[in-house]
């Protein structure tokens, strides 16, 4: 009796299990069939995986303080590596007694039929005033007992190239400019610097400093008197 | 029916790709917006920093006693190639692609004059040592200075793509400045200083001979403990700070 009573109970549970199992197998078959037949599902899944990886990366980037995505136009501002060449090595003998560091703003202006062009630049340079011993006679110094006699050339500008053009700052530029015009701008700045700095007063200051220095130097060598003549040129 | 399925299938992925593309664009836009905010904040911060340029405009006239003994003339053709690239990042992946459009090139020949000198400002009796064996003059360390630079404007060459503008004067000066800096950093400072020392001896020894000191009794000397570090300090480049 017990066996007969238990039989329907076990049978109904088994039926339910079988039904569930059949449904599951059917669903799995449907999924597998759909995945094999429908490639779109595969694509969607791949996209989801890629998107998940991408968002994970983005989250990490965001946490590290970087941008998620960026796009920019990039260009280098540094010059190429090229060799430097020594064009000349010269022995010189120049005594500098006054240094004038200056800057000059020069500008060019030209008017065409349709446009107006303007170029304004600030040049900087250092004028060095002193004595160039290359212009002095061979025996510029003679010792006569306790007196030193010096025949020095006139105090003047030591170097005609005194502008550091690479340090020029372009203040304003419009229009196009030729090489000759740029060169004329440089010459204009140079002339203005010479006019302002190569004055009689500055030359006199340099000469005074020269006299003081040469006198002191020869006193240090043991001479009691120093006679200096300027303007004596090499013949 | 088969064709109909294919059409449906084509629409699906296209739509998905469009959606992904739109998503990326949106992310880029949001990222750019974020940067803009940062930039504007940085600009506000930079606006508050005031730079006093008055000191730059002051002319300096100074008395000095310098004996220039050596001059070096350097020449360099400064070249620059402007090849724009599209760069960026997508997540952690960085990329940089040449645009192949709008190339510009320029060559600027520059000449730089460099001089070496002995500073006699502090020269005194302490620098002169007299003894029975003769006279020794101890000179200060030589110094190096860039005295001038010149751009050969007539020899400047530009090669510009029609899509691009010419190099401006400001750009040219920036390249020339870099060229001068390159010359200064690569010059053989030790050789120039040695040349300056020889030059000083060449100038001063004949003077001592005329004073009565024979060849063996007159010596020009320099500090012997010159190190590479002190050599580096000896280079002075005149420039606007």
A222: left (phi over 0), alpha (psi -120 to 50) or beta: left
Residues of chain A contacting residue B84, judged by C-beta atoms under 8 Å apart? 73-75
Q: Is residue B241 part of a domain?
A: no
Strands B142-151 and B235-236: parallel
Q: Of A106, A108, A104, A105, which is closest to residue A177 (Cα–Cα)?
A: A108
Task: Give residue-wise pLDDT tens across range B50-87.
Answer: 555 444 444 577 888 899 999 999 999 999 998 888 88
In this complex, the residue of A77, A143, A167 whose CB is nearest that of residue B240 is A167
Nearest CA in chain B to A57: B91
Does B225 lie in the same domain as B156?
yes
Residues of chain A contacting residue B117, judged by C-beta atoms under 8 Å apart? 96
- Picking from A41, A67, A126, A166 by the largest number of B CB atoms within 10 A of its own CB, the best residue to mutate is A166
Does B88 lie in the same domain as B189?
yes
DSSP state of A233: P
Q: Is residue B13 part of a domain?
A: yes
Q: Is A129 on the interface with B (CB under 8 A)?
A: no
Does B73 lie in the same domain as B184?
yes
| Nearest-5° Cα angle at A103, B72 to A212 | 65
Does B122 lie in the same domain as B37?
no
Residue range(s) defining the domain that contains residue B137: 55-236
Does B128 lie in the same domain as B85?
yes
Q: Tell me if B208 sits within 8 A of B218, measured CB to CB.
A: yes
Cross-strand partners of B88: A71, B95
Task: Give residue-wise pLDDT tens across range A117-159.
Answer: 999 999 999 999 999 999 998 888 998 888 999 999 999 999 9
- A168 vs A109: CA distance, rounded Å: 18
Q: Is residue B97 part of a domain?
A: yes
Nearest CA in chain A to B239: A167
Does B68 lie in the same domain as B15?
no
Digits of tens for pLDDT over chain B (241 positions)? 344 444 444 444 545 555 555 555 555 544 544 444 444 444 444 444 555 544 444 457 788 889 999 999 999 999 999 888 888 877 677 888 887 777 889 999 999 999 999 998 888 888 888 888 888 888 888 888 999 999 999 999 999 988 888 899 999 999 999 999 999 888 888 888 888 889 999 888 888 888 888 888 888 888 766 666 666 666 665 554 4
Beta-carbon separation of B99 and A103 below 8 A: no
Shortest distance between the Cα of B232 and any Cα of chain A, in A, equals 19
Does B101 lie in the same domain as B44?
no
Shortest distance between the Cα of A24 and any Cα of chain B, in A, equals 28
Q: Of B162, B121, B113, which is closest to residue B140 (Cα–Cα)?
A: B121
- B99 vs B84: CA distance, rounded Å: 6
Q: Is A201 on the interface with B (CB under 8 A)?
A: no
Count how many pairs of residues, chain A against chain B, have C-beta atoms within 8 Å: 266
DSSP state of A155: P
In this prediction the pTM is 0.71
The strand ranges marked E within chain A are 69-74, 84-111, 116-132, 141-144, 147-152, 156-157, 169-174, 225-230
Beta-carbon separation of A170 and B128 below 8 A: no
Strands A225-230 and A147-152: parallel
Q: Of A123, A130, A127, A122, which is closest to residue A94 (Cα–Cα)?
A: A130
Q: Is A171 on the interface with B (CB under 8 A)?
A: no
The count of other CB atoms within 10 Å of the CB of residue B184 is 19
Does B114 lie in the same domain as B32?
no
How many folded domains does chain B comprise? 2
Does B194 lie in the same domain as B160?
yes
Beta-carbon separation of A75 and B86 below 8 A: no
């Amino acid at each position: 009796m017990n066996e007969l009573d238990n039989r329907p109970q076990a049978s109904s549970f088994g039926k339910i299990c079988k039904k569930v199992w059949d449904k599951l197998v059917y669903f799995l078959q449907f999924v597998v069939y759909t995945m094999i037949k429908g490639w779109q599902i595969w694509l969607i899944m791949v996209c989801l995986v890629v998107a998940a990886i991408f968002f994970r990366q983005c989250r990490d980037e965001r946490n590290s303080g970087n941008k998620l995505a960026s796009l920019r136009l990039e260009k280098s501002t540094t010059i190429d590596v090229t060799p430097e060449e020594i064009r000349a090595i010269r022995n010189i003998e120049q005594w500098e007694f006054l240094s004038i560091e200056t800057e000059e703003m020069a500008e060019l202006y030209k008017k065409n039929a349709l446009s107006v062009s303007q170029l304004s630049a600030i040049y900087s340079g250092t004028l060095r005033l002193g004595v160039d011993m290359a212009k002095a006679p061979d025996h510029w110094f003679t010792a006569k007992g306790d007196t030193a006699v010096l025949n020095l050339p006139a105090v003047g500008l030591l170097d005609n190239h005194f502008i550091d053009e690479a340090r020029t700052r372009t203040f304003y530029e419009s229009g196009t400019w030729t090489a000759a015009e740029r060169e004329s701008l440089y010459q204009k700045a140079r002339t203005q610097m010479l006019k302002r700095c190569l004055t009689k007063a500055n030359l006199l200051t340099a000469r005074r400093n020269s006299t003081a220095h040469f006198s002191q130097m020869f006193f240090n060598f043991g001479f009691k008197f120093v006679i200096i003549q300027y303007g004596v040129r090499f013949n | 029916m088969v064709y109909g399925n294919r059409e449906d299938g084509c629409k699906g992925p296209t739509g998905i790709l469009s959606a992904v593309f739109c998503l990326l664009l949106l992310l880029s836009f949001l990222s750019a917006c974020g940067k803009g905010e940062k930039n504007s904040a940085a600009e506000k911060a930079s606006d508050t920093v005031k730079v006093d340029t008055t000191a730059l405009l002051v002319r300096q006239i100074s008395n000095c006693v310098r004996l220039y003994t050596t001059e070096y003339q350097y020449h360099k053709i400064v070249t620059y190639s402007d090849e724009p690239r599209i760069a960026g990042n997508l997540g952690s992946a960085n990329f940089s692609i040449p645009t192949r459009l709008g190339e510009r090139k320029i060559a600027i020949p520059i000449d730089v004059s460099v001089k070496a000198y002995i500073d006699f400002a502090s020269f005194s009796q302490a620098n002169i040592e007299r003894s029975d064996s003769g006279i020794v003059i101890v000179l200060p360390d030589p110094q190096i200075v860039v005295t001038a630079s010149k751009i050969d404007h007539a020899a400047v060459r530009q090669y510009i793509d029609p899509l691009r503008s010419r190099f401006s004067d400001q750009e040219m000066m920036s390249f020339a400045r870099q060229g001068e800096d390159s010359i200064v950093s690569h010059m053989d400072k030790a050789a120039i200083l040695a040349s300056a020392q020889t030059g000083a001896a060449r100038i001063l020894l004949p003077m001592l001979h005329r004073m009565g000191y024979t060849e063996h009794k007159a010596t020009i000397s320099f500090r012997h403990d010159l190190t590479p570090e002190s050599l580096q300090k000896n280079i002075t480049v005149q420039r606007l700070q």
